Amino acid sequence: MSAQFPVARPRRLRRTPALRRLVAETRLSPADLVLPMFVKEGITEPQPITSMPGVVQHSRDSLRKAAHDAVEAGVGGLILFGIPAVKDGRGSGADDPAGVVQKALRDLSADLGDGAVIMADLCLDEFTDHGHCGILTPSGDVDNDATLERYASIAVAQAAAGAGVVAPSGMMDGQVRAIRTALDEAGYGEVAILAYSAKYASAFYGPFREAAECAPQFGDRSAYQQDPPNADESLREVFLDLDEGADMVMIKPALPYLDVVRRVRDAVDVPVAAYHVSGEYAMVEAAAANGWLDRERTIMETLTGIRRAGADIVLTYWAAEVAARLA
């Protein structure tokens, strides 16, 4: 054989679109995508979010329409975030049966039936006047165990309003057990828990804080969210959450933590989700708006990469758009 002819020619399988499609190792489908949505109390028209072009704070009515369209496009699920008209120290709006999220959950479960999984983010930061994810001690620390009681009550309120999945995102120790116990005692044994198990204290949440109007009024979340240098610790958090009754686990943000996504995927036998967060979204939108990136290709490569790293489910503000494109 001549030395000029390579024995192996990987390029053969890259030659045409049909070949590439045939041998693709990772596929993106609408059912894998979950759309985060914001609903704000007391507004009648949707309001744009400056740092997240294309994403809005919905009114009760505009949420129904957008959720319907997303489900029509085939998304696997929706996850709701609420912005109450009034905030206080204990986040009273979060478990009020007439609170903004509970009303929206009732609307969506009536409208959508089983067309997609309806999830609720379960946290306090959107509802507290201080912007932290829990109840504060007099010295301004987040009181872990007092916060667990609030989370338990929120879980029951969300389940009663029709959430099929609750997603605790506050990073309090023991939060999954507290929520599981409360749900079971209240007769909501069928409601599943998607635990934000490995949630990092990330700069990439910046635009979300505008979207949910929940920037901490003092300090930051480093005393409860994970420290970016740590990955082994994520596995510890994941196993604790599974012991406590989590049905699915999540890593957040996505792109800076794809190593964690892969390690968790290899270590557990439950569905793994990754959240491509507001700042990751904003970077692409800003660059694309400047003509610096091909927006559609960047979006597809981003979501495919997160799936390839091991995420079964991707939470993304592009979910409805991409689902429609894939369909």
**C-beta of 249 vs 277, nearer to ligand PBG:** 277
Q: Residue 113 CB, nearest distance to ligand PBG (Å)?
A: 26
**C-beta of 76 vs 91, nearer to ligand PBG:** 91
Q: Is 40 a catalytic residue?
A: no
**C-beta of 59 vs 169, nearer to ligand PBG:** 169
**C-beta of 185 vs 233, nearer to ligand PBG:** 233
**C-beta of 147 vs 278, nearer to ligand PBG:** 278
Q: Is 65 a catalytic residue?
A: no
Q: In angstroms, rounded to a whole number, what is the distance separating the alpha carbons of residues 78 and 33?
A: 9
Q: Which tokens sit at 125?
A: 């930061």
Pairing of strands 47-48, 56-58: antiparallel
Q: In angstroms, rounded to a whole number, what is the distance separating the alpha carbons of residues 68 and 120?
A: 17
Cβ proximity of 172 and 149 under 8 Å: no
- Point out which residues bind ligand PBG (CB under 6 A): 121, 123, 125, 169, 205, 208, 221, 277-278
Q: Which tokens sit at 327?
A: 């369909």
| Lookup result for tokens 């009273």 | 92
Q: Residue 169 CB, nearest distance to ligand PBG (Å)?
A: 4
Q: Residue 297 CB, nearest distance to ligand PBG (Å)?
A: 22
Q: In angstroms, rounded to a whole number, what is the distance separating the alpha carbons of residues 288 and 65?
A: 27
The residue at minimum Cβ distance from ligand PBG is 208
Q: Residue 214 CB, nearest distance to ligand PBG (Å)?
A: 7
Cβ proximity of 276 and 304 under 8 Å: no
Q: b/e string for 169-198 if b means 16 or more Cβ within 10 A?
A: bbbbebbbbbbbbbbeebebeebbbbbbbb
Run of H or E including 112 = helix 100-112
Whole-angstrom CA distances from 52 to 20, 214, 216, 233 are 33, 15, 19, 31
Q: Residue 12 CB, nearest distance to ligand PBG (Å)?
A: 41
Catalytic residue numbers read 199, 252
